[in-house]
Structure 1
Amino acid sequence: MSEVFSARTVDTAAEATEGSDLARARDGDDAAFTRLVAPLRRELHAHCYRMLGSTHDADDALQDALLRAWRGLARFEGRSSLRSWLYTVATHTCLDTVERRGRRALPIDLGPSSDRAVLGDTPLNDVAWLGPYPDAGLAGGLAGPEARYEQREAVELAFVAALQHLPGNQRAALLLFEVLGFSVAEIATTMDTSTASVNSALQRARTIVAEKVPSRTQQQTLREIDDARLREIVAGFSAALESGDADALVALLTEDVTWSMPPLAHWYHGLEAVTDFAVRVPLTGCGSWRHAPTGANGQPAVGCYLWNDDAGAYLAWSVNVLTLRGEHVAEITSFVGPDYFTPFGLPASLP
């Protein structure tokens, strides 16, 4: 009984503090506003990433959304929670970005796979590429009872990539309903439309996502692999690249494995094509590698570092996100570029 009373006391105190900070923020106290939004920043940032497919765009969108919220706080009448209102502001901010920039892509969206290694492949810098999301940025969130996707499932690469094939309004409706647990009526209010329009958007969005997302999520797969075995798989992948051991690498892969490397357009499908690429490029054609384990999009990942003679160090090269099927690697997505390392808290170089 005392524990229940204590919890109620804490909740009441928190509500009083929030109410006090809200009043202060409305009077122009930016420190009070910062305190109000601080507990929600991580989940709002993840929402912006799901909408936009880029941590950089999510950074910008969240900053813009919070600025809009700060300037428009007087319009918040308290008929919904502050969290719901902030999601409304963030969603509209993301929709503005989607309208300006369009969707983000992976190499698989641009054309067929290559049967053999393409040497001297050059980056396509005019394409808006999907990017990885650091697991450290994920928060549990406060999804409502109708939410179907877990918070980590909702940042898996396959799901975020599928979202990019949806128009902005369908993307927003699906995320608000299936990930965050907003009701259809709440979404209609958020998006200034009718419940019929929301239901129609949800139906179309579900159809497209179901066609593109595997029925089995990575979270379901990972729950069946104990942590020690998962570390072995990641360590084996890294060791095979570092030692140039093609046989060890192939032993980790599925027969229908894919390997893509945005911003490079060419990608590879099937064990023969992936092996040819691996042998001719990372295993023998690039130089010496080192790796650091990390987590991205709720999936195992490694930061890959390539030796640079001029620097006398291993420099950040790519963040490789691994998609597993059973205890084998079914997809390797190598996000090439040192800029990806900072959000993961990975160093720019290794000695």
Structure 2
Amino acid sequence: MKAAVVTAMTPLDLDLAMKITSGSIANITGAQGYTFKLDFTMSSGRGTKSVANSAPGKAGVTWTLPVTLTATNTAASRTSDISNLQAVTVEGVWPADSPLCSADNTNTGGAGTYPWRSRTGVDGATYCVAVLRNLEGATGSIPVGGTYSVKADRNIDITVPEAKSQAMVDALGAGPVGWAIEYPGGQGPCGSAGPLWVSTAVLGCAPSQPELTSAAASQLSTQAVANLHLILQSSNPACPFGKGPDSWAAGLLSESRQDATWKANLYDASSLPISGGIECFAGGMSLSAVDASGMETPAFLANGEGWREISGPAQISGGQAYFTADQITPATGEAYPVTRFAWRSGDLLIFGRLVRGSVPQAYSWLKQNIPGMIQGIKAP
């Protein structure tokens, strides 16, 4: 067998991964009663400063904010439009004493202070919250069962005291302490008067799906392995990971979901001591689960999956995760990049590849989706 060499994830990749937040709202009712599934990815982006177009003592700070919103039309038999979700907003949450929240910061080209508002968090501390992205003005038809992605950087321009401008840039680069999705009238973990979705509990309500602890992951993985063997004993083993890639939060650009449904095969482990598994494919995306008892994860990846480079392990959702960047060359067409990932707890090993994206994005995607994946492996 080939020796497996594992290198630690780079500090840059870890830093970027921690600044990416992804989430999903399974059911949201938009204007006129149309229903959607909403996936989203947010990142802190970066801030820059300049005095070129500012008065003496002032500086201009620009923040490029990467946000992706993907709406899936779930209204039966009805074509919809992204405009039915124009009331959705993405918000960032900072401590109230952040330089971003100062009354000295004014809108460039507009009147008044940048529109932060204050909220008291679960710990009694005060936070400032600001709308960072909205869907106002977005239009685009969405066919039945289809998706529409709004993925564009939004530039926010603020005029600030020059002496505080570098502190502003630093605060922007560090990112918020939390994110929220607001939707008037929506009923989420925060009730009808609060955000529809939150990434952390700082605003006084817990995320609907918190990250797994090691103990919880171990218990769920043990049951998942037992259920996996029951699935393998059936006459027609099916993919255990939902109906298709759209069952999971995107966490990436929409290119990762090329086919609507999974195609499932038994995992070929003839050359490895694997107790059995199932691999699922949807275009260039794949996702598999195996019982890897007696096999070390790096050895499996190097010999069973042919990973040339392995970075990790990173602690995610109570298990250990590994990553590598690679590419696929189809029979026709040009090669395209993929990110391979693996996650293990106990004997359960989940691995696969995401089309395009990066290691930090795959890290965020796993963190969001692993709990649902494990709990989704049920006995037939």
**Do both proteins adopt the same fold according to a TM-score greater than 0.5, normalized to the shorter chain?**
no
Larger strand share, 1 or 2: 2
Give the number of the structure with larger relative contact order, counting CA–CA contacts within 8 Å between residues 6 or more apart: 2
TM, length-normalised to structure 2: 0.30
Larger helix share, 1 or 2: 1
